[in-house]
Amino acid sequence: MQNSRFDGCYNSDNHPSKAQEHMPTYECPICSEEKLVESGPSAYECQHCHASILDGKLVCSACGKHNPLEAAKCETCQEPLTIFSRVISRHSKATRSWRLDQTRNQANTLKAAEAHASEARMDDFLEIDRKRKEADREAALIQEEADRQLVSYVKIGLGIFLAIVAVASIIIALL
């Protein structure tokens, strides 16, 4: 039977006992234990699985986002919300900040490592580009020297050819 004070939470017999009148307990929609107690106006907390429910929404223990009761993971941070996933990753408020700090530090470490690796790759690319330009300059100098030698050989060859033509012309003129 549903209790009108909170959707999804049930009183054990829908009639509180004398002990429950001062602090009634309800069935937790997450773990199904009758350990859900009112902790404020429209606020409930399960003494068994430590689920916090505010205004009919399941409160994420990591980021405080209000999620639907049927959600298995937080819509914002993907933190497990169900009892089954909490068994695997349960942490208290004292360790929660440590866990978040640890995750943030890991993220910062990864960012720094990626930045360093990116700089190293860029340095490698610049070194490769410098070597390519140097090789291009050396190849241009070698080609320039080869072109000068070719022009010299062509001049010599042309000079010899003209000398032969001149000698042949003189011989033909003398005959």
pLDDT in tens, the chain (175 residues): 334 344 444 344 444 444 434 556 778 877 777 888 888 888 888 888 778 888 888 888 778 888 888 887 788 877 777 665 555 555 545 445 666 777 888 988 999 999 999 999 999 999 999 999 999 999 999 999 999 999 999 999 999 999 999 999 999 998 8
pTM value is: 0.37
Unique residue bearing structure tokens 């009758």: 34
The percent helix, strand, coil of the chain (3-state, each to 5) is 55, 15, 30
Report the SS3 class of residue 85.
helix
What is the maximum span of the chain, computed from C-alpha positions, in angstroms? 150
